[in-house]
């Protein structure tokens, strides 16, 4: 098969022919129809940590089940049956330990870490969901402890988020204040939808507050994101405005989807005294400090949901807790629910898609150049270059870069 292969020692990547994988126990072979490009794909291409001679790049994919391992014979789960349209993600070259990548014509993956694609979604739309949606879900549910249809906190019998009270029109209103910094990122799109899921499950009132470019505010105020308050992230006073929007109570839960430089401290300044916030980059990559912050951020790695120990080299190793994989299995079953119950409902709306021209061979020169550097730097450069480049190479703004795999 053709695959986009990273040669770590040479810091190069190219499309080459390699053996088609064979599914192992619990796995199916998927013919890939579309892949989405994520910033993490570019990060570990530009600064490889893989130690092998070559590794297949790529994380997010969507395609069709072609065959399965013999031990799955008799398994009636539709994700283990040939012809099923499925989506999922793998780790690619984002670790030292050798794991499969998605930028290829085929991939072998555990069937229970896939989700069935409703007929209303294209492969290109479906491939934008898996990794970012699970990243957001891990933060909101097991790490924050909010309830969902696929997660019930074990330490309380009736989950209720901790809230403050405030006076509004003479009545006391109990509201859960949630901030998503970087609301128009891929991660932000899924986080907003999942916050509404948590609100519905807990039967509590949530106030959703976001930061984004003003040009995105109308889009984010509408369903399925339905923000209550939106502020311009380039306005230095946005943290104060966020606190004002909570009536002075402060934010109970915050997700910093940017997690770069001063964004972490700004998000921290919006918190309630007992608030929690989640970052999505390490301090080295994000260039931020938390030593002087009274509330330490929650963090984790999405890869633990795949059930693999993750070795980043230099002694940095993340375990594979069984609970993390079990959560991922339930989450992907939930994503499949519209197909399984025959309604065809889409439980999460996919990211807006920018379909990129060419195939696997264009990922490095086109998409990786668009994703290079910090998000804040890309945004600033993008404003300067708007209108001066080819349409598919315009600055990224709330879209996922997607390729069709022929």
Pairing of strands 271-279, 55-56: unpaired
Mean pLDDT, the chain, integer:
91
- Can you tell me the mean pLDDT for 363-388? 68
Q: Which of 54-63, 276-285, 290-299, 390-399 has the highest mean pLDDT?
A: 54-63
CATH number corresponding to 145-297 = 3.40.50.720
Q: What is the predicted pLDDT for the residue at 390?
A: 87
Rounded distance between C-alpha atoms, residue 229 and residue 231, angstroms: 7
- For residue 55, give every residue at least 6 positions away whose Cβ sits within 8 Å of its Cβ, in sequence order, or none: 5, 6, 8, 92, 93, 98, 101
| 189 in Cβ contact with 225 (< 8 Å) | yes
| 226 in Cβ contact with 208 (< 8 Å) | yes
Does 170 score more than 80 pLDDT?
no
Confidence at 159, pLDDT banded by 50, 70, 90: very low
| 208 in Cβ contact with 227 (< 8 Å) | yes
3-state secondary structure 382-399: HHHHCCCCCHHHCCCCCC
| 255 in Cβ contact with 278 (< 8 Å) | yes
- In terms of Cβ atoms closer than 10 Å to its own Cβ (0-12, 13-18, 19+), residue 111 is buried
User: E strand or H helix at 234, and its extent?
Assistant: none
Does 398 score more than 90 pLDDT?
no
Q: Where are the domains of the chain?
A: 2-131+306-404, 145-297
Nearest to 14 by CA among 124, 91, 104: 104
Pairing of strands 251-256, 171-181: parallel
| 134 in Cβ contact with 351 (< 8 Å) | no
Does 166 score more than 50 pLDDT?
no
Q: What is the predicted pLDDT for the residue at 255?
A: 98
Q: What is the predicted pLDDT for the residue at 173?
A: 55
Rounded distance between C-alpha atoms, residue 4 and residue 42, angstroms: 13
| 95 in Cβ contact with 73 (< 8 Å) | no
Rama region for 159: left / alpha / beta (φ>0; ψ in -120 to 50; rest): beta
Does 348 score more than 50 pLDDT?
yes
Q: Name the one residue in this structure whose structure tokens are 């409902």.
A: 345
Q: Which two tokens stand for residue 352?
A: 């807006």
Is 266 in a helix, a strand, or coil?
helix
**Fold of domain 2-131+306-404:** Quinone Oxidoreductase; Chain A, domain 1 (3.90.180)
Does 406 score more than 60 pLDDT?
yes
Does 332 score more than 80 pLDDT?
yes
Per residue in 65-100, pLDDT (tens digit) is 999 999 999 999 999 999 999 999 999 999 898 999
| 312 in Cβ contact with 301 (< 8 Å) | no
Does 264 score more than 60 pLDDT?
yes
Pairing of strands 106-110, 27-37: antiparallel
Confidence at 372, pLDDT banded by 50, 70, 90: confident
How big is the chain, counted in residues?
A: 406
- Kindly list the distances between the CA atom of residue 208 and the CA atoms of 90, 171, 175, 227, in Å, as whole numbers in the listed order: 31, 20, 10, 5
Q: Which two tokens stand for residue 141?
A: 């549910």
Q: What is the predicted pLDDT for the residue at 172?
A: 39
Residue 110 pairs with which residues in a beta bridge? 27
Rounded distance between C-alpha atoms, residue 261 and residue 259, angstroms: 7
Q: What is the predicted pLDDT for the residue at 375?
A: 58
Confidence at 167, pLDDT banded by 50, 70, 90: very low
Nearest to 348 by CA among 112, 139, 149: 149
Q: Name the one residue in this structure whose structure tokens are 């940095």.
A: 316
Q: What is the predicted pLDDT for the residue at 161?
A: 47
Q: What is the predicted pLDDT for the residue at 168?
A: 41
Q: What is the predicted pLDDT for the residue at 384?
A: 46
Confidence at 381, pLDDT banded by 50, 70, 90: very low
Rounded distance between C-alpha atoms, residue 145 and residue 142, angstroms: 5
- Can you tell me the mean pLDDT for 142-163? 73
């Amino acid at each position: 098969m053709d695959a986009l292969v990273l040669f770590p020692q040479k810091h190069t990547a190219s499309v080459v022919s390699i053996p088609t994988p064979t599914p192992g126990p619990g796995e199916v072979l998927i013919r890939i129809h579309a892949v989405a490009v994520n910033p993490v794909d570019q990060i570990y291409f530009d600064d490889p940590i893989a130690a092998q001679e070559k590794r297949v790049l790529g994380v997010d994919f969507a395609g069709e089940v072609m065959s399965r391992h013999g031990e799955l014979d008799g398994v009636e789960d539709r994700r283990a049956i040939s012809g099923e349209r499925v989506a999922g993600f793998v780790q690619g070259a984002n670790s030292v330990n050798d794991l499969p990548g998605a930028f290829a014509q085929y991939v072998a993956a555990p069937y229970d870490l896939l989700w069935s694609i409703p007929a209303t979604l294209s492969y290109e739309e479906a491939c934008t969901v898996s990794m970012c949606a699970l990243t957001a879900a891990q933060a909101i549910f097991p790490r924050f402890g909010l309830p969902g249809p696929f997660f019930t906190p074990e330490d309380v019998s009736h989950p209720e988020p901790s809230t403050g009270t405030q006076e509004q029109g003479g009545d006391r209103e109990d509201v859960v204040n949630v901030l998503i910094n970087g609301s128009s990122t891929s991660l932000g799109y899924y986080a907003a939808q999942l916050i509404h899921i948590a609100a519905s499950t807990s039967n509590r009132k949530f106030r959703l507050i976001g930061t984004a470019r003003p040009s995105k505010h109308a889009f984010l105020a509408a369903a399925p994101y339905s923000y209550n308050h939106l502020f311009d992230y380039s306005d230095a006073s946005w943290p104060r405005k966020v606190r004002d929007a909570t009536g002075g109570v402060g934010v109970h839960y915050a997700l910093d989807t940017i997690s770069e430089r001063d964004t972490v401290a700004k998000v921290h300044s919006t918190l309630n005294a007992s608030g929690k916030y989640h970052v999505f980059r390490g301090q080295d990559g994000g260039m931020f400090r938390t030593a002087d912050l009274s509330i330490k951020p929650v963090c984790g790695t999405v890869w633990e949901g795949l059930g693999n120990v993750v070795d980043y080299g230099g002694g940095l190793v993340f375990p594979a807790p069984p609970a993390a994989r079990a959560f991922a299995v339930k989450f992907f079953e939930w994503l499949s629910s519209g197909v399984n119950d025959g309604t065809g409902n889409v439980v999460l709306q996919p990211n807006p898609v920018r379909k990129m021209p060419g195939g696997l061979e264009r990922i490095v020169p086109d998409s990786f150049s668009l994703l290079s550097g910090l998000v804040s730097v890309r945004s600033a450069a993008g404003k300067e270059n708007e209108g001066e480049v080819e349409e598919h190479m315009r600055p990224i703004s709330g879209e996922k870069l997607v390729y069709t795999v022929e």
